[in-house]
Amino acid sequence: MKSKNISGAKAVMESLIAEQVDTIFGYPGGAIMPIYDALYDYKDQIKHILVRHEQGAAHAAEGYARTSGKTGVCFATSGPGATNLITGIADAMLDSVPLVCITGQVASHLVGTDAFQEVDVIGITSSITKWNYQITKREEIDSIIHQAFNIAQSGRPGPVVIDVTKDAQLNLFSYQEKRTKKFNHSKKRLNKSTLDSIARLINQAERPLILAGHGILIANAETELKKFVEKTDIPVACTLHGLTSIPVDHPNYVGMLGMHGNYAPNVLTNQADVIIAIGMRFDDRVTSDTQTYAKQAKIIHIDIDASEFDKNVKTKLTLQADAKEALTNLFPLINKAQHSAWLEKFRQLYDQEHLQVITSDINRPDTQTVSMAEVIHQLSEITQGNAIIVADVGQHQMVTARYFKHTYPNHYLTSGGAGTMGFALPAAIGAKVANPDKEVIAVIGDGSFQMTLQELGTIMQENIPVKIIILNNHYLGMVRQWQELFFTKRYSFVNIDSPDFVALAKSYGIMGNTVIHKSDLKKSLQLLWKSKQAYLLEVKVVKETNVFPMIPTGAAVDEMRLE
């Protein structure tokens, strides 16, 4: 390829185009200004979304990545610009989301001098990235950016930070693309003996249980999982991030795992004789007390990241592979089976949960006040599950996970590992940019919304038709629930006042409405659903209500409380 004399900043843009980047979320500043100047010449090739805060850029890039299958890209300047990205980077690391975050840095001769807006970005992000690198020489730009995308996408995905000094951006040099546009990721052949041992254990199981995690979706293995389940007749429970890996109406789907998941899969975890964990990491929200977790079961752990094996839970067999590869190789080795008696136990416990919890949550005929569950249940009915739902963090997050009928892969996004309040609004923006033909609905609490509400400005400026539902209970609801149950109702700084959310939205040119009475709920949700533009619906929900079932901290999974 013929070389050309360009600045390092233009080399950054050329490298991003070579990686087929079409969207960047960012915020300009002094140390990254040369890159933004170069971006001016590439604005017909790459769309830039100006966020209102760099945290919003990282979360928007996450939403874009998780719903597009591409790597999300964000820009920030040095100092506070870079540090404002940190929450989003940490969120992406814990939830295995591929990001390439490019930050500007002071000139290389000023590094280490405490210059204006100088922060040690490499030191700060070392523990929350798969890889980070500071570019001080313009000649490194192409190869380093290519390596960044390769690392972000390969194996277990995650975020990468590239810090580019200002002199490396400004200096001219003879640029030549030095690499192929795509890496060929060679996969090691799976050990036949291990595959045979896993298949033998599954074939001999009387009470097997599949735990489906985010790795199913990352590997695009939904079809393979469905075929595997239908051949083996094994019940499937999903982690929070594993939701949508199998439709909720599938006869073998038995519910969500975890602290506020469904009763049956949590309780019966401690009765299963074989557990097949696929693309999940046995985090504490799933296992609760590891000393009492599934001690009777032989655990098979399948994951792309071998560092997760035996980290939290002792396994019988492990297989390092992505979910698609593992399920494809295991499929011919497993026997067609039937586990009707075992599945019936799940149905019986589901009926118990339905009687004691679900019915009262979604059908409250005795009052005009609205519950969170009623909102999500009706939203699910109106949309028929055909919407990308982006939930923030708190009670509404768990209610949305439980009561929306998740049907399509990668149509439920939330912050899992980090539990980041403020995630949903910018992530919904990213999801909508990546999926302009799909409806994207952010479900947010009144506390979470006020963390990143400034991104209404991004929606306004870019005319992004995101739908927003604020479930307003005038509390930091999940903290209040814990204070009620475990701190004798000592409500310490959890009641929160809010602005007029509808008036606020209108000030950004976004139409909206408030629902107070149950009789207005369905009509208002239909208005939101049919709107061709951004729309904000605030629903005043019951102030003091708790999300059940619940596993109290330190309890065993089979000690889940229904009330």
Same domain as 40, residue 14: yes
pLDDT over 70 (residue 186): no
In total, how many domains does the chain have?
A: 3
Q: Choosing from 10, 70, 166, 467, which is the catalytic residue?
A: 166
Q: What confidence score (pLDDT) does residue 178 get?
A: 61
Q: Is the peptide bond before 549 cis (omega within 30 degrees of 0)?
A: yes
269-276: average pLDDT: 97
Instruction: Give the CATH number for residue 314.
Output: 3.40.50.1220
For residue 134, the domain's CATH number is 3.40.50.970
pLDDT tens per residue, range 281-317: 999 999 999 999 999 999 999 999 999 999 999 999 9
116 is catalytic: yes
Question: Does residue 536 sit in the same domain as residue 440?
Answer: yes
Which one of 277, 312, 347 terminates a domain? 347
pLDDT at 182 (0 to 100): 54
Per-residue confidence (pLDDT) for residue 266, from 0 to 100: 97
* pLDDT, tens digit (0-9, with 9 covering 90-100), for 532-559: 999 999 999 999 999 999 999 889 999 9
The pLDDT of residue 364: 77
Sheet holding 535-540, edge to edge: 412-413, 388-391, 440-445, 467-472, 535-540, 511-515
Bigger pLDDT: 147 vs 5: 147
Give the mean model confidence (pLDDT) for residues 336-362: 94
Of 213, 210, 198, 195, nearest in space to 279 by CA: 213
Using DSSP's 3-state secondary structure scheme, residue 41 falls into: coil
The residue-averaged pLDDT of 340-357 equals 95
Q: For residue 179, what pLDDT is reported?
A: 56
Can 348 be counted among the known catalytic residues? no
Find the domain containing 251 and state its range. 192-347
**pLDDT-based confidence at 327, cuts 50/70/90?**
very high
Torsions phi, psi for 164 (to 5 deg): -115, 120
Mean pLDDT on 95-105? 98
Residue 183 has a pLDDT of 52
Residue 481 in this model has a pLDDT that exceeds 90: yes
For 72, phi and psi rounded to 5 degrees? -80, 145
Catalytic residue among 117, 271, 356, 454: 117
**Statement: residue 173 has pLDDT above 90:** no
Q: What percent of the chain has pLDDT over 70?
A: 97
Pick the catalytic residue from 4, 20, 45, 116.
116
Residue that is last in its domain, among 123, 143, 175: 175
Statement to judge: residues 270 and 379 lie in one domain: no
Report yes or no on 365 lying in a domain. no
Are residues 76 and 203 located together in one domain of the fold?
A: no
Q: Which of 290, 287, 158 is nearest to 211 (CA)?
A: 287
Examine residue 545 and state whether it is found in any structural domain, yes or no. no
Shared-domain flag, residues 69 and 198: no
Q: Is the pLDDT of residue 11 over 70?
A: yes
Predicted confidence band at 366 (pLDDT cuts at 50, 70, 90)? low
Mean pLDDT of 380-389: 96
* Strand bridging mode 172-175 / 4-7: antiparallel
Does 187 fall in a domain? no
Same domain, 28 and 80: yes
- Say yes or no: 209 and 311 in one domain: yes
Q: What is the mean pLDDT of residues 348-355?
A: 94
For residues 140 and 25, membership in a common domain is answered with yes
Choice among 372, 478, 550, 560 that is catalytic: 478
Identify which of 75, 86, 77, 71 has the alpha carbon closest to the alpha carbon of residue 50.
75
Any domain includes 563:
no
Secondary structure string (H, E, C) spanning 110-174? HCCCCCCCCCCHHHHHHHHCCEEEEECCHHHHHHHHHHHHHHHHCCCCCEEEEEEEHHHHHCEEE
With a cut of 90, say whether residue 170 has pLDDT above it: yes
| CA dist., res. 518 & res. 258, Å (int) | 30
Give the SS3 label for residue 26. Answer: strand
Give a yes or no: residue 309 inside a domain: yes
- Whether residues 159 and 200 fall in one domain: no
Residue 353 lies in a domain: no
Q: Is 117 a catalytic residue?
A: yes
18's enclosing H/E stretch is: helix 8-18
Say whether pLDDT at 181 is over 60.
Answer: no
CA dist., res. 289 & res. 291, Å (int): 5
pLDDT tens profile 106-162: 999 999 998 999 999 999 999 999 999 999 999 999 999 999 999 999 999 999 999
Quick one: 186 exposed, middle or buried, by C-beta within 10 A (0-12, 13-18, 19+)?
exposed
- How much is the average pLDDT of 405-433? 96
Domain boundary among 314, 347, 380: 347
**pLDDT of amino acid 3:** 67
What single string gives the DSSP state of each residue in 447-464? HHHHHHGGGHHHHHHHT-
Cα–Cα distance for residue pair 170/165, rounded to 1 Å: 9
Among the listed residues 465, 459, 448, 362, the one whose alpha carbon sits nearest the alpha carbon of residue 397: 448
* Annotation says 280 is catalytic: no
Pick the catalytic residue from 54, 177, 222, 224. 54
Question: Does pLDDT of 496 surpass 90?
Answer: yes
The reply to whether 546 falls in a domain is no
The whole-chain average pLDDT of the chain stands at 95
Q: Are residues 217 and 133 in the same domain?
A: no
The secondary structure of 67-106 as a DSSP string is HHSS-EEEEE-STHHHHTTHHHHHHHHHTT--EEEEEEE-
Q: Are residues 8 and 149 in the same domain?
A: yes
Q: What angle do CA 48, 51, 57 make, to 5 degrees?
A: 85
Do 171 and 216 lie in one domain? The reply is no
